[in-house]
Amino acid sequence: MLVDCHTHLQQHGEQPPMTRALIEEYVRAGEARGVTTVCITEHLFRFEEAYKLLHGWWDEDPDARLAGMVEQYWKDHVSGKVADYVRLVEDAKAAGLPVLLGIEMDWLHGKEDLLRSFLAPYDWDIVLGSVHYIGSWGIDDDLFIDQWDTHDIAETWVEYGALMKELAESGLVDTLTHPDVLKKFGHRPQNETPLHDLILAGAAVNGTAVELNSNGIRRCGEVFPALPLVERAHALGLPITLASDAHVPKLVGSHFDQLVAWAKSAGYTEASTFVGRKKQSYSIE
């Protein structure tokens, strides 16, 4: 048994129709790699309801250029209604497809109540929590890569870690996605321990899972997150989830052999998924 806990039906910058046929492609691609269940976890910013509810959060950044870039990005990526998305995935589940209903929720500082109200009406199986923004700086997006030249790397990692800690402490999410995604472009401080300290302190509050994400292998040659963080998560008894972060069917379950090896080297013999927001563990031995 293997569960891919993090997949998307649309690539960034594209809006292919979210359909049953597309979900079936994801399932078939996963089955070819031994994945028995696929969590469909589309981005929060894909949905009209989120755009309307959270519109203007970017204006709190004093850099008007960055705020404008984020506003345009969010506007360009809206592709439908969350109610239609939920219905699509739930209908696929009812038809017997091995999929779970999820969402990847961006953590936006100071917007916890709005995020909670967005999630509340729907019966999610799994809610992923991610930090993609420090202010209006998209820290893992090519559009904003120039910002790395004007920020101290070590300080940025700590700022990001503080946001991850807030996210975990909120109790809104089941797992922390790509926990050290900042290394995507190769910007790493000499000492990554302060980030690990913040993430683990937050995760320990609610027993939030730590995601092992194979997109790191594709992006920077190393799993998200680094092994020392995974080892410390194991020592704290925190669960882990396995994730491809696929945005196209062919990447479902990608590099899961390496994720399992990463987990085992940190001491794990089990990974987890979530059904109805309840953790379910399975053996990876």
Strand partners, 211: 241
* Model confidence at 57: pLDDT above 90: yes
**What residues have CB less than 8 Å from 68, skipping those under 6 apart?**
58
* Model confidence at 220: pLDDT above 90: yes
pLDDT score, position 13: 83
pLDDT score, position 285: 80
Residues 144-158 pLDDT 10s:
999 999 999 999 999
Q: What is the CATH number of the domain that holds 28?
A: 3.20.20.140
CA 271, CA 230: separation in Å to the nearest integer? 12
Q: Kindly give the pairing relationship between strand 137-138 and strand 133-134.
A: antiparallel
**Cβ atoms of residues 209 and 170 within 8 Å:** no
CA 161, CA 202: separation in Å to the nearest integer? 9
**What residues have CB less than 8 Å from 63, skipping those under 6 apart?**
135, 136, 137
Mean pLDDT of 68-80: 96
**What residues have CB less than 8 Å from 267, skipping those under 6 apart?**
231, 234, 235
Strand partners, 4: 38
Question: Into how many domains does the chain fold?
Answer: 1
**What residues have CB less than 8 Å from 222, skipping those under 6 apart?**
183, 216
With a pLDDT cut of 70, the percent of the chain lying above it is: 100
* Model confidence at 197: pLDDT above 90: yes
CA 240, CA 228: separation in Å to the nearest integer? 14
Residues 110-145 pLDDT 10s:
999 999 999 999 999 999 999 999 999 999 999 999
Q: Around Cβ 87, how many Cβ atoms within 10 Å?
A: 12
Look at the block and give the residue holding tokens 């969590």: 39
- Compute the residue count for the chain: 285
- What six digits make up the tokens of 42? 């589309």
**What residues have CB less than 8 Å from 141, skipping those under 6 apart?**
73, 132
Q: Kindly tell me the burial class for residue 159, based on how many C-beta atoms sit within 10 Å of its own C-beta (0-12, 13-18, 19 or more).
A: buried
Question: Which residues span the domain enclosing 136?
Answer: 3-283
Average pLDDT, the chain: 97
Residues 11-43 pLDDT 10s:
988 888 999 999 999 999 999 999 999 999 999
Q: Kindly give the pairing relationship between strand 126-130 and strand 270-275.
A: unpaired
Question: CA-based angle 180:228:135, to the nearest 5?
Answer: 20
